[in-house]
Structure 1
Amino acid sequence: MSKLSLPVAAAVVLSSLSLPAAAQEPEGAKAEGSISLAPAGAEAKGDAKAGKKKREKKAKDRSGVPWIKRYRPTAMSGEFGIFAGLMFPARDHELYLPPQPGEPPNWQPYKTVAPDIGLRAGFYPLSFLGLELEGAIMPTKTENDGKGAVLGGFRGYALAQLPYRISPFVLIGAGLLGTSGLGGDVDPAIHFGGGVKFYINDYLALRLDVRDNATAQYAIDGGRTHHLEVLLGLSFVLRKKQPAAKDDPDSDGDGFKDSVDKCPTTPGVAPDGCPVAVEGDADGDGFLDSVDACPQEPGIAPDGCPEKDRDGDGFVDSKDKCPDDKGIAPDGCPLPDKDKDGIPDRDDKCPAIPETRNNYQDDDGCADEVPRAVTKFTGVIKGIYFDVDKDTIKKTSRGTLDNAVRVLKDFPSVKVEISGHTDSSGDRDHNVDLSKRRADAVKKYLTDKGIDSARITTRGAGPDEPIADNNTKAGKAKNRRIEFKLQ
């Protein structure tokens, strides 16, 4: 009897742990997955199914997603959590209410360690960046008289993290740190720190934080002291529903998935999943593709390419009477230009005399010389002066500039480039900028006097185009100049 007492007792205990549904089965009914008692050597019927489920779960875990990327943080998600830990109040804090005149000092440090509990909520618009808010309380006592006090903190901060299942992070923000002891006080705090998260699954994450709260320091103007925290938390994760992964079928059954099969509905071969092509004539010009130099464009003998248009004027060579010169309808030849100056006779005021290319009235087709008055205002323009290292034009320059205005008004077709130049003293980049500003200042003077700004361009050459020796004082003076150039 004694030998059977242990198995019988075990049977009673195990039967009490069986699922309720199994307990309610009629006598003789099959209770799959429940534990049954049998003579020595018998096996529990649920073992096989339990092992199968375990293997299926393991296979699911091997779905192709690397372990470090499973359950990792995603964009547009929220995290809500609780935390607990320790705070180490600073010995030189300023969390107290200063006494009124005539009252005894009431400052004293808090105990060096305080329990720390709180709640947090966060929103992550990006997988690697989010914003969080926290509230925490830290019950403690004052060190000298042992009176109870509750420290409290509220802070907001930005958090940057690596978006993996194990996710190191850093954070920085600001908030408030206050006390109910020593008369009560609340101080602003700079809050920063770091830590690591571990995402257990899609909904839960463990978190370890090390923080610092920087607040005002006792008895030191502008001083800062530090309250350290070590926190362990559990977060609940709310994620935006991710679209289901699209299946990539092999519609034609040729072994190439549709995403890489160029002929997804026709069985084919490597390299692209298309059938072996029978040689054809893609452009239908009568030349097989293997001998057609232009297989996508209908062409003619000898190579299957379209007829050429050597001068690119839109007339094929067989119909272009001037195949090497761009022309116009009706025959592809250019308009007559008797003097060969590039200006057609119909636009040439002097069709028998070539245009003189001198940047003066170069569009009329006639030979001409630049007027003496215009020539006077080309090259280096003497008489234009600026304040030292500035783009301010000196009053002594007005006579020269007013003469330039008069010439430009007398010859409205003239266009000029104004370039500023400096000597080699000082920083090159500064000199280039200064020379450009000086050229712009001259342009502004002229346009303010009525000259069309479209007729004037400017540039700053800085020290790069000297006309004299920069090693001498006289040479440097020559190099500091303004030049006009016809365009």
Structure 2
Amino acid sequence: MKLSHRLVGILAAATVGVLGMPSEARAEYPDPGLYVGIYGGGTLKLNDWNLGEAPRSDRDLQPKSAPVVGLRLGYHILPQLIGEVGGAYMPLESTNGEPNTGFKYDVDLFYHLLSSDFSPFLGLGTGAHLTKDDGDLGGDNDIQVHVSLGARGLLTDHIALRGEVRDYWVDSYSTFGGNNIELTLGLDIYPFGSSAPPPAPADSDGDGVVDADDACPDVPGLAIHKGCPDRDNDSVPDHLDQCPDEPGDPARNGCPAPDKDGDGVLDADDLCPDVPGEVAFQGCLDSDRDGVYDHEDRCPQEHGLKEFKGCPDKDGDKVPDIDDKCPDQPGLPEHNGCVPEEVAKFTGAIKGINFETGSARILPSSFPVLDDAVKVLTEYKSLRLKIDGHTDNQGLADKNQKLSEERAASVKAYLVSKGIDESRLVTAGHGDTKPVEDNATPKGRAANRRIEFSILAQ
């Protein structure tokens, strides 16, 4: 146990010593590099160690903890990955107190956790422990596997100090094997040495661009501009920028393009270059947000339609309100949005359109009225009508609804048969849901059985 404490102390002191060395005293590991090493330390037996030819029943005859002295040969496969072989002499003493000769050999892979000249490392390996037939243990050869943890640092260009702890899995009297801990300290010698890194190229202004490549070596700048600054970040370096404190256009030597009205839209892109506007509207104004810019909008303070140059059309008759003499009632464009007197006669409930009782068949007495409607529709080509059918409340509501729809459709069919385009006519049935008079009297029921015409928006 005293040996264990002493070796741990040596390893810690060596690690601190390497870490504390000034950086200029340390070199870089050869890449790749060959080395030979010499080391010493001790093996600490933690439990049963069945090494020797004694019968397994004789568990009291085992090696004790022992010193280790060895040699190793290694090679940097990669800068941080090392392959190594080694062997060591182990003067063993049995539990009976007799001396025995022991050896071990190892094959290992190590990985440096850092790429610097000092680094902790991890290792994994295998090998064997051997005893000669010159003592009470007898001759033996046992396979072992082990893991390693250590640290290594260059002292000079040729020599590295190395401390290491290994945990060996060894043959034992127990089912799962035994454990030995090995503590060693040694030197690894690189016969070819290591090359000192070349001096860093000069960078007078400390901007990360070496003087040889720096177009402005005395002023910190940007690599993208070959070490020259660009204060206004307009991709034109200051020494070439005619407006170095104002972001501009590279095509204008770093100066901004003109914007006469100062609205943030350059004159070349500004549809209204003499009037301050909004970027979203290409430098123009759209006060009512209807998509028609004020300079083209006939109604700039009223949200309108593009087809009417920004003016609304409340009644939907295709005549903008600004030109519509009847803006609250759908009319005809050719009559300034109003309804001519002869057309007005065919709005609302149309008297004289009658049907057989309980049927959608039009009575012949209705034909003159419908023919007059055909004349009006023929004269006013832009006129579109909605035909609504209504009934009284006699009978079932479902049947009344169906009857009202069929009567409206019969009227449409008559008008279409006289040459009126059916796309100009729309029908609907309302059954007994919209009475205009009291269904309790014959007169009221007669008034509620009706056909209504209304002018549709264009």
Structure with the greater relative contact order (CA < 8 A, sep ≥ 6): 1 or 2? 2
TM-score by length of 2: 0.40
Larger Rg: 2
